Structure 1
Amino acid sequence: MWHKKLFAPLALPIHLFAGAILLGAGLLCQPVSCAATPVSFLDALFTATSAACVTGLAVVDTGATFSRFGQIVILALIQLGGLGIMTVSTLIFYLWRRRVSLADHIAVGQSLLHDASFHLGRFLVRMVVVTAFIEAVGALALCLLDPVGFGPFSAVFHSVSAFCNAGFGLLPDNLMGYVGNPGVNLVVMWLIVSGGLGFGVLIEGYRAARSRLRRLAQPDARLFRLSWHARTVVTVSISLILAGAVMIFFGEFLGGRYPDLDASDRVLAVLFQSVTCRTAGFNTLNIGRMADASLVIMILLMFIGGSPGSCAGGIKTTTFRVLAAFGKSRMFGRRQAVIGRFAVDEDSIDRSVTLTVFAAGLVLASVLVLCFTEGAVAPHVEAGGRFLEIVFEAVSAFGTVGLSTGITPQLSPAGKLVITLLMFVGRLGPILFLSVLHGFQEPLRYRWPEQGMMIG
């Protein structure tokens, strides 16, 4: 009976992701994948996990260490991880006109929309078409903006990496050389935001835009309006981007730093960093030299992450919005948590609280382990900012962001394994693992006596 629960529909993405990561690691540690000296299996496993989980943390320089074949393997893992390996495998069966099982339907539905009742085939085809279109436009734009820095392969690699919110790059300084280039910044930000909104929201946006274009030709045509979920996702995403940019601006530029950047470049830099620190791992500012206040703000944004059904990790924007509505309702003595025109149901509130508590506990436990493995047990005056660097690294891994203050290549073998586990759990989502664990539990047929507890 236990093996049936182990291979239940909700557990299939875990097995497929793990299988793809092991296959990718096996390919990346081969001599054909490396430009010079082959990497160790542990480094290959770390890189494959980071790519499949669309994180972007790297223990080696991707552009210098791996050959073109190795970079293609990483690119394939990024694309598979961004779309979802369960989604890709189900799409193949659908296009081959093979029968798609109910288990696949449920697993893909819950991983993309948390709704098992949608039309699977139509949604998958639309998702792939929209993804291919956005990535192609992004690659073409990058190639036209800088044909030298972004050759054809490099442009495709960075476009796919940005849309899938992976943050892998082939340039040695990430995108710091483009800090004052508005074209490259805007294209990469558009790709990151598109990938972080969620495929369901993207398709709704496409349908809304198409209906408005049709309205121009046919004034009596019916307009398609965004759903409550889509409007919430877009509103929260824009609010977090703007609020994050303002706070990072105060943290970085009030002290007279970066004298070589003019006012417009500073605004562009903080806007880019606010966009990328919630979902992707690109940076135009040196993360290791940013102020502590900016790093704390970025940690909060990374922990929130992107939106459900997207390429991003974190607890998700909708979870953050539900918790904010729940806190506001309790603060004013109201029973319902209201967002827009609707109140959030109790099950969604319970899931949001459970997810946040589990995620915070996982990150804190990982930070504690990393403090032991990465030398943060020294006296505070000697360790300096090591603790903040470790917290930043752990949250970046859990949120599948990929930003780092520079300690990733210096991680011990145990530290690499901890970060690998965080990336894996962060990409698939704590809720998925909790649901699988709940499947092994037998329902209790009794209730404990209840009693009040003094709180506060």
Structure 2
Amino acid sequence: MRLSAVFSPFTYPIYFFLATILAGTVLLMLPGSLNGASIDFVDALFTATSATCVTGLAVVDTGTHFSRMGQGVILSMIQLGGLGIMTYASLVFYLWRRKVTLTDRLAVGQSLMHDSTFSLGRFLVRLVAWTAALEGIGALLLHSFDPHGFTPWSAVFHSISAFCNAGFGLHADSLTQWRGNAGVNLTIMGLIVLGGLGFSVIVELEGWLTGHLPWRRRGQRRKPRLSWYARTVLAVSAFLIVGGAAAIYMAEVVGLDRGLSFSEGVLAAFFQSVTCRTAGFNTLDVGQLTTISLLVMTFLMFVGGSPGSCAGGVKTTTLRVLWAFAVSKIKGRQQPVVGRFAVDRETVARAVSLTLVAIFLVAFGTLWLVVSEGGDVPHPAARGLFLEILFEVVSAFGTVGLSMGITPTLSVSGKIVITLLMFVGRLGPIVFLTALGRLQEQPRYVWPEESMLIG
């Protein structure tokens, strides 16, 4: 095994995340981080992983169990995890005028900007500035819409948590008490969507919007256009949000009378559709939703956000590539087409591999929790437990943070499995597969091929 493969740009994110999680675990166990309570190592590790991996699953109430110092530790881990510790490390190197190697530039560029030729320093400064501006605007809006419910500290905490798609809140009932507050709902949803689009798309949107301003168009021959990648991300994201909201509205408002007005029902449906794209906040009691809504939300959590964003899941582009691949096979075409371009074979192979690995991880986690949390209970007594476990596992893998209420009651082994799923889900299975692949020596031979009857 080569030392250069053990310490390569593809393994750096794993080490950085591990170091941050362990440091956060130690800090959360300090007496100053606790509000007159106690926490064991497993619960502290679970909380630190959930914060660093911007998941939001919690075994204890964040607002009451932790002091202001503990909440600050959690918020710091959310910010680090949301933007990516690899990004922060590169920014530190840049600010200290240290030379970032070409391989590091390529690794960061491919994961964040979908471009291996960008200027790392200029991009990182712009990224941090955009993040601070959006989170600051979000905090000001939350405080202005409800100064008593969102104090300055609470507004900043929830704004950062929303933009980083973390879902950590300081209220035991999440945001259910603001279910009818359009300002709070739209602010949180806006932060979640922006945090889940990916930084490269945000930068493109900024250039596209400013390019259409009348005073910026003087002397320009044509209007600026979004790239094929950005249009794909925006189209798939919009489809999932609207489609998910429609399904949830039909199941919760039309199919089940919850006493909501039309505007409240539409707002709640859109909020749940947006938040299960890996944010973790909720304005409806998740444990009381219909099975239809829970299945729709499970699918949305599995897909997650877009590449290079604060969100987890298999990503929107993976879903679009798989759909194009399926359509191409149905129509008998050789190439899967998305918009004006065909997708290359390597991208299709990565999308299929990522989805298969994700399905395997979800299946493994579900099986483990079925055994550890209800394996000794007859099925009639455990009715409904399977859906709760599946929802929890997908929420952890997709770094969403929504739960049907079983998180605090998980056994030690169950908490450890959920912790591992959050860690793998945040970095992405592809990162681990790539890192493991670089540790292996590639064979210098090929096996003879043979066809096999399928289907």
TM, length-normalised to structure 2:
0.98
Q: Which amino acid aligns with 2:55?
A: T
Q: What SS is found at the alignment partner of 1:9?
A: coil
Residue 23 of structure 2 corresponds to 23
* C-alpha separation in 1, matches of 2:82 and 2:180: 28
* C-alpha separation in 2, matches of 1:443 and 1:228: 34
The answer to whether the Cα contact below 8 Å between 1:30 and 1:38 also exists between their aligned partners in 2 is no
* C-alpha separation in 1, matches of 2:255 and 2:220: 56
Residue 160 of structure 1 corresponds to 160
Structure-to-structure mapping, 1:17-416, within 5 angstroms: 17-213=17-213, 215-216=215-216, 218=218, 220=220, 223-259=223-259, 261-416=260-415
* C-alpha separation in 2, matches of 1:244 and 1:415: 29
Residue 443 of structure 1 corresponds to 442
* C-alpha separation in 1, matches of 2:344 and 2:30: 51
* C-alpha separation in 1, matches of 2:137 and 2:357: 38
- Say which is worse superposed, 98-107 or 135-144, in terms of deviation: 98-107
Q: Which amino acid aligns with 2:149?
A: G
Change (3 A) 1:224 1:376: farther
* C-alpha separation in 2, matches of 1:8 and 1:374: 39
Residue by residue over 1:273-301, the C-alpha shift from the partner in whole angstroms, topping out at 9 and shown as x without a partner, is 00000120000000001111111110000
Q: Which amino acid aligns with 2:36?
A: A
Q: Which amino acid aligns with 2:269?
A: V
Once the 2 structures are TM-superposed, how far is the Cα of residue 215 of structure 1 from its aligned partner? 4.7
Unaligned ranges ≥5, structure 1:
none
Q: Which amino acid aligns with 1:18?
A: L
Unaligned ranges ≥5, structure 2:
none
* C-alpha separation in 1, matches of 2:158 and 2:246: 27
The answer to whether the Cα contact below 8 Å between 1:35 and 1:66 also exists between their aligned partners in 2 is yes
Once the 2 structures are TM-superposed, how far is the Cα of residue 111 of structure 1 from its aligned partner? 2.6
Q: Which amino acid aligns with 1:346?
A: R
The answer to whether the Cα contact below 8 Å between 2:217 and 2:223 also exists between their aligned partners in 1 is no
TM, length-normalised to structure 1:
0.97
Structure-to-structure mapping, 1:426-437, within 5 angstroms: 426-437=425-436
- Say which is worse superposed, 101-110 or 394-403, in terms of deviation: 101-110
Residue by residue over 1:401-421, the C-alpha shift from the partner in whole angstroms, topping out at 9 and shown as x without a partner, is 000000000011100100000
* C-alpha separation in 1, matches of 2:370 and 2:283: 28
Once the 2 structures are TM-superposed, how far is the Cα of residue 445 of structure 1 from its aligned partner? 2.1
- Say which is worse superposed, 242-251 or 54-63, in terms of deviation: 242-251
Once the 2 structures are TM-superposed, how far is the Cα of residue 253 of structure 1 from its aligned partner? 2.2
* C-alpha separation in 2, matches of 1:221 and 1:410: 62
The answer to whether the Cα contact below 8 Å between 1:272 and 1:283 also exists between their aligned partners in 2 is yes
Once the 2 structures are TM-superposed, how far is the Cα of residue 214 of structure 1 from its aligned partner? 5.8
Once the 2 structures are TM-superposed, how far is the Cα of residue 210 of structure 1 from its aligned partner? 1.8
Pairs aligned (count):
455
Q: Which amino acid aligns with 1:83?
A: L
Q: What CA RMSD, in Å, does the superposition of the two structures yield over aligned residues?
A: 1.3
The answer to whether the Cα contact below 8 Å between 2:198 and 2:310 also exists between their aligned partners in 1 is yes
The answer to whether the Cα contact below 8 Å between 1:371 and 1:377 also exists between their aligned partners in 2 is no
- Say which is worse superposed, 202-211 or 65-74, in terms of deviation: 202-211
Once the 2 structures are TM-superposed, how far is the Cα of residue 130 of structure 1 from its aligned partner? 1.0
Once the 2 structures are TM-superposed, how far is the Cα of residue 101 of structure 1 from its aligned partner? 2.2
Q: Which amino acid aligns with 1:409?
A: P
- Say which is worse superposed, 112-121 or 203-212, in terms of deviation: 112-121
